[in-house]
Structures are given as C-alpha cells and as structure tokens.
C-alpha cells in the first residue's frame, strides 16, 4: 500500500515537473502575458490565504484565537525571522551583499562598471577552467600510479 502511494506521489511529481517546464518554456516567449498570468496568480493566491485566515479567525476555539491579528503578527514574525525569509524578502540578499561590498545598486552602475564586472567574471571563469584541467591531470596521474 505504501509503495503504491510512493509510486503515485513520484509519478504526480514528475508529471507536474515536466508540465511546469513546458509551461515556463512556452510562456517565456511572451513575457508580458507571462507577467500578467504570474502576477494574477500570486495576488489571487495571497487573497485566498488572507480570506482563509479571516474564516479561521471566526471559529470559536483555539484556532480562532491563533488567527487573531496580534497572535499572527507575533507568530509569523517569529517564523519569518527564524527562517531568514523576512530579511531576504523585505531587504533582499543582493542589497545586503552590495552593501557589504560597498557596491552601487545595479541600476546605479554605469555601463563601464557593468562591463568591467563582466570582464572580471570572465577572467575568473577562465582561471577556474584552468584549475579544473590541472586537477583532472593530477587525478589521472594518481590513478595511473
């Protein structure tokens, strides 16, 4: 019985994974429509979460108490802070990293700064490739010995 459930769960996951890849591939060709569909879906998802919380707040038991605004603010702040989602969502990792590196925001960078950064990344990638090749040769020498 459990094996059947695992099989169906795995099959369902594979189906939706392939389905998602196909949908993303097709919608990527029409980015404005993709944005409208995605934006609408996100807004309606959060709207339904909001309304479900309102419905649960009206229940006359512990669940209703849990969904009061005061408890929700405390509980969700605790969860968001402990998982790191609050900082990455409200501030963004890129902003934090650019602040630590004393960089300008990407929008504020000049074209020459962006090209310079790209050139640096290309050089780093080339060096990594050389290192990978040397490591592969070292591995070959150790295998032959």
Domain end call among 40, 58, 76: 58
Which of 56-65, 102-111, 135-144 is modeled with the greatest confidence?
Answer: 56-65
Q: Give this prediction's pTM.
A: 0.53
Q: Domain count of the chain? A: 2
Tally the C-alpha atoms within 13 A of residue 144's C-alpha that lie toward its C-beta: 6
Q: What angle do CA 53, 59, 62 make, to 5 degrees?
A: 90
User: Exposed, middle or buried, 139 (CB in 10 Å: 0-12/13-18/19+)?
Assistant: exposed
DSSP 27: H
Domain end call among 58, 81, 96: 58
Alpha-carbon distance of 143 to 135, in angstroms, equals 12
Domain presence at residue 75: no
Domain end call among 41, 58, 75: 58
Domain presence at residue 86: no
Domain presence at residue 69: no
Q: What is the pLDDT of residues 10-58, one digit of tens each?
A: 888 888 888 888 988 888 888 899 999 999 999 999 999 999 999 999 9
Alpha-carbon distance of 59 to 34, in angstroms, equals 38
Q: Quote the domain boundaries for residue 118.
A: 104-145
Take residue 72 and report the two structure tokens written for it: 């929700």
| Cα-Cα end-to-end distance for the chain | 52
Domain presence at residue 1: yes
Domain presence at residue 24: yes
């Amino acid at each position: 019985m459990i094996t059947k459930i695992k099989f169906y769960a795995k099959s369902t996951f594979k189906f939706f994974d392939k389905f998602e890849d196909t949908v993303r591939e097709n919608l990527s060709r029409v980015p404005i429509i993709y944005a409208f569909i995605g934006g609408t879906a996100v807004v309606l998802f959060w709207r339904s979460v909001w309304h479900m919380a309102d419905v649960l707040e009206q229940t006359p038991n512990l669940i209703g108490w849990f969904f009061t605004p005061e408890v929700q603010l405390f509980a969700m702040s605790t969860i968001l802070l402990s998982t790191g989602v609050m900082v990455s969502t409200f501030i963004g990792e890129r902003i934090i990293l650019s602040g630590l590196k004393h960089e300008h925001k990407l929008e504020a960078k000049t074209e020459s700064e962006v090209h310079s950064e790209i050139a640096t990344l290309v050089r780093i990638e080339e060096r990594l490739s050389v290192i990978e090749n040397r490591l592969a040769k070292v591995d070959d020498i150790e295998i032959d010995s």
